[in-house]
């Protein structure tokens, strides 16, 4: 039996148009402004501007500008592409020419202070600086002069080293580097990270041993004045190899094994083609927990993982020293389900019009294009629950981000498929938002 229910009040899906740029994008936009202290006096410093855009369904930060302020704390980032931006501002010193005498100076032991604009606690796609084509936008970034939070960080290498630790501010499915003050204490062997503003951070340590580069990582959540400790743990790369157990003897064409990180932050994705004999191998997979699935449209879906012949009880694999050298067997089933319908674009038809079919069980998303009439068909679907989303132009949509899709969940159509069942005739109404 096929079950269907809707999160929307009717069988319609709100179709969101994000700001997509046409081919041949211009570089005629600008961000100008100044760095301010809490008393509105200016601060000399450094500003980095990152453009945040979706590429192949994922959010990607690209550095577009790195500049020092002038003596009055003013900065200019020119010849920018239009789009969504985030700024990382670091204070070096106050502008002595216009600093109010009664405000004093920033204690040199606290420098450099830094600020994420918009604030680090709101780093998602809805809360970025929106810069239009040909637009010059003026921004004043106020840097708080409270001491922030300090962390003592234990090195995974056993000894802290200068310039070996990096601190990144985490946004929604993306991370941007900061130049927060870091010092290495040769006596304790630890790092000291000072002045963190509230937000989520990734700490990354790189070191070399016997000619081999090693990497360690830690994640910290910083509130108001919540100093503490963190421990860097080495992140090891592994080779993941195994064989597919097919449900039948039929030929299944091109099939990929996909590993999708279960982590909320710093997620990784790996994919490798299955060889004719059913074997697969993925090199350099970092330790962690991963959902294993098969490429959409392959006609197969993963039902279980066997490690050295023993079931892990699903498709979530923990990759560590215990499991890394054990051969995997990926048990599969045949996928026969399908969903068809129409994306009602009206006058807003665009080249990038598509629907996104998200599998709740496999934690994967499939991009399904529509024809000139707005019709679409997603076939070779595994049994399970799906959420169907639609956009007038999906080229700038991070459709591979589950956290992004959650924002539109109340506008999605929910469909539950049994093995081989079909859901036909869905009508998806496209409403342009942000056009």
User: Which residue did the predictor score with more confidence, 143 or 422?
Assistant: 422
Q: In the prediction, which pLDDT does 323 show? A: 65
| 243 plus 312 within the same structural domain | yes
Closest residue by Cα to residue 124 from 254, 235, 264: 264
Strand, coil or helix: 403 = helix
To 10 degrees, the CA torsion angle through 340, 346, 347, 353? Answer: -20
Q: Which sign does the torsion angle of CA 312, 315, 321, 325 carry?
A: positive
Using the CB atoms, write b or e for 176-201: b if 16+ within 10 Å. bbbebbbebeeeeebbbbbbbbbbbb
Q: What is the mean pLDDT of residues 140-168?
A: 86
Alpha-carbon distance of 359 to 380, in angstroms, equals: 12
> What per-residue confidence (pLDDT) applies to 125?
62
Round the average pLDDT of the chain to a whole number and report it.
80
3-class SS of residue 423: strand
| 321 and 402 housed in the same domain | no
Asked whether residue 376 is domain-assigned, the answer is yes
Over residues 196-201, mean pLDDT: 84
Average pLDDT estimate for 44-51 = 90
**Same-domain pairing of 227 and 213:** yes
Asked if residue 320 lies in contact with residue 287, where contact means CB atoms within 8 angstroms, the answer is yes
Say if residue 106's pLDDT is above 60: no
Q: Output 322 or 355, whichever has higher pLDDT.
A: 355
Q: Is the pLDDT of residue 305 over 80?
A: yes
Residue 339: predicted pLDDT: 94
The percent of residues in the chain predicted with pLDDT above 90, rounded, is: 34
Question: Residue 24 domain-assigned?
Answer: no
Which of 46-50, 101-105, 141-145, 202-206 has the weakest average pLDDT?
101-105
Q: Give CB contacts under 8 A, 24+ apart, made by 162-168.
A: 164/205, 164/206, 164/207, 165/191, 165/193, 165/203, 165/204, 165/205, 165/232, 166/203, 166/204, 166/205, 166/206, 167/193, 167/196, 167/201, 167/202, 167/203, 167/204, 168/201, 168/202, 168/204
Domain span holding position 106 = 29-142
Same domain, 255 and 320: yes
Q: Residue 261: which pLDDT band, with cuts at 50, 70 and 90?
A: confident
Q: Are residues 292 and 224 in the same domain?
A: no
Of 119, 142, 165, the one marking the end of a domain is 142
Boundary residue ending a domain (109, 142, 175): 142
112 and 216 part of one domain: no
Q: How confident is the model at residue 99 (pLDDT cuts 50, 70, 90)?
A: very low
Which residues, 6 or more positions from 306, have their beta carbon under 8 angstroms from its beta carbon? 245, 312, 328, 329, 330, 331
Of 99, 124, 142, at which residue does a domain stop? 142
Kindly state the helix (H) or strand (E) to which residue 36 belongs, with its residue range: strand 29-36
Question: Are 353 and 389 in a shared domain?
Answer: yes
Q: In this structure, are 55 and 136 located in the same domain?
A: yes
**Residue 23: inside a domain:** no
Give me the CATH number covering residue 228. Answer: 2.60.40.1120
Dmax of the chain from CA atoms?
83
Give me the torsion for CA of 305, 307, 309, 310, rounded to 10°.
-80
Question: pLDDT digit string (tens) for 375-405?
Answer: 999 999 999 999 999 888 787 778 887 777 8
Q: Is the peptide bond before 112 cis (omega within 30 degrees of 0)?
A: yes
Q: Does residue 90 fall inside a structural domain?
A: yes
* DSSP assignment string, 284-351: EEESEEEEEEE-TTSSEEEEEEEETTEE-SSSEEEESTTTTTS-EEEEEEE--EEEEEEEE-GGG--T
Assign residue 410 the CATH number of its domain.
2.60.40
Length of the chain: 435
Lowest mean pLDDT segment, chosen from 42-56, 119-133, 212-226, 368-382: 119-133
Q: Which residue has the higher pLDDT, 227 or 16?
A: 227
218 within some domain:
yes
120: pLDDT strictly greater than 60: yes
The lowest-confidence range among 182-191, 246-255, 426-435 is 426-435
Query: Within this chain, do residues 8 and 94 fall inside the same structural domain, yes or no?
Result: no
Does a structural domain hold residue 295? yes
User: If you compute the radius of gyration of the chain from its CA atoms, what whole number of angstroms results?
Assistant: 25
- 177 assigned to some structural domain: yes
In a domain, 435, yes or no: no
Provide the CB-side half-sphere exposure for 150 (13 A, CA). Answer: 11
More confidently predicted of 425 and 114:
425
CATH of the domain at 129: 2.60.40.10
pLDDT, position 1: 29
Same domain, 280 and 350: no
Do residues 114 and 190 share a domain?
Answer: no
Give the lowest-confidence range in 89-93, 101-105, 416-420, 426-430: 101-105
Dist. CA 49–CA 34, nearest whole Å:
13
Q: According to the model, what pLDDT value does residue 113 have?
A: 63
Selection from 204, 114, 122, 198 nearest residue 168 by Cα:
204
Q: Are 348 and 321 in contact (CB under 8 A)?
A: no
* 35 and 123 fall within a common domain: yes
The helix or strand, by DSSP H or E, that contains position 67, with its residue range, turns out to be strand 58-68
* Number of domains the chain contains: 4
């Amino acid at each position: 039996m096929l079950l269907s229910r809707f999160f929307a009040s009717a069988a319609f899906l709100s179709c969101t148009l994000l700001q997509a740029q046409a081919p041949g994008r211009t570089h005629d936009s600008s961000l100008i402004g100044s760095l301010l202290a809490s008393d509105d006096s200016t601060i000399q410093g450094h500003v980095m501007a990152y453009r945040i855009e979706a590429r192949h369904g994922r959010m990607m930060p690209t550095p577009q500008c790195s500049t020092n302020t002038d003596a009055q704390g003013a900065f200019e980032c020119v010849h920018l592409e239009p789009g969504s931006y985030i700024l990382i501002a670091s204070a070096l010193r106050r502008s002595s020419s216009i600093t109010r005498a009664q405000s004093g100076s920033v204690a040199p032991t606290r420098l450099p202070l830094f600020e994420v604009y918009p604030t680090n606690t709101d780093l998602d796609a809805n809360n970025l600086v929106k810069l239009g084509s040909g637009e010059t936008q003026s921004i004043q970034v106020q840097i708080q002069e409270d001491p922030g939070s300090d962390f003592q960080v234990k090195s995974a290498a056993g000894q802290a080293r200068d310039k070996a630790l990096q601190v990144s501010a985490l946004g929604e499915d993306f991370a941007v580097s900061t130049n927060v003050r870091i010092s290495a204490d040769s006596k304790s062997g630890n790092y000291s990270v000072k002045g963190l503003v509230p937000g989520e951070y990734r700490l990354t340590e790189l070191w070399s041993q016997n000619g081999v580069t090693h990497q360690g990582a830690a994640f910290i959540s910083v509130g108001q004045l919540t100093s503490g400790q963190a421990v860097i743990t080495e992140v090891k790369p592994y080779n993941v190899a195994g064989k597919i157990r097919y449900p039948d003897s039929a030929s299944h064409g091109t099939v990929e094994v996909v590993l999708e990180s279960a982590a909320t932050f710093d997620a990784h994705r790996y994919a490798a083609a299955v060889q004719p004999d059913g074997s697969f191998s993925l090199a350099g997979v970092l330790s962690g927990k991963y959902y294993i699935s098969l490429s959409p449209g392959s006609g197969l879906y993963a039902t279980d993982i066997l490690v050295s012949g023993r079931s892990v009880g699903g498709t979530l694999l923990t990759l560590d020293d215990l499991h890394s050298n054990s051969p995997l067997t990926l048990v599969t089933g045949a996928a026969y389900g399908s969903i068809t319908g129409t994306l009602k674009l009206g006058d807003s038809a665009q080249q990038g019009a598509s629907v996104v079919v998200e599998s709740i069980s496999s934690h994967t998303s499939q991009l399904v294009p529509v024809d000139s009439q707005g019709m679409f068909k997603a076939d070779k679907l595994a049994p399970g629950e799906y959420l169907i989303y639609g956009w007038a132009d999906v080229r700038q949509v991070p459709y591979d981000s589950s956290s992004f899709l959650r924002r539109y969940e109340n506008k999605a159509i929910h469909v539950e498929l049994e093995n081989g069942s079909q859901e036909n005739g869905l009508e998806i109404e496209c409403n342009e938002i942000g056009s």
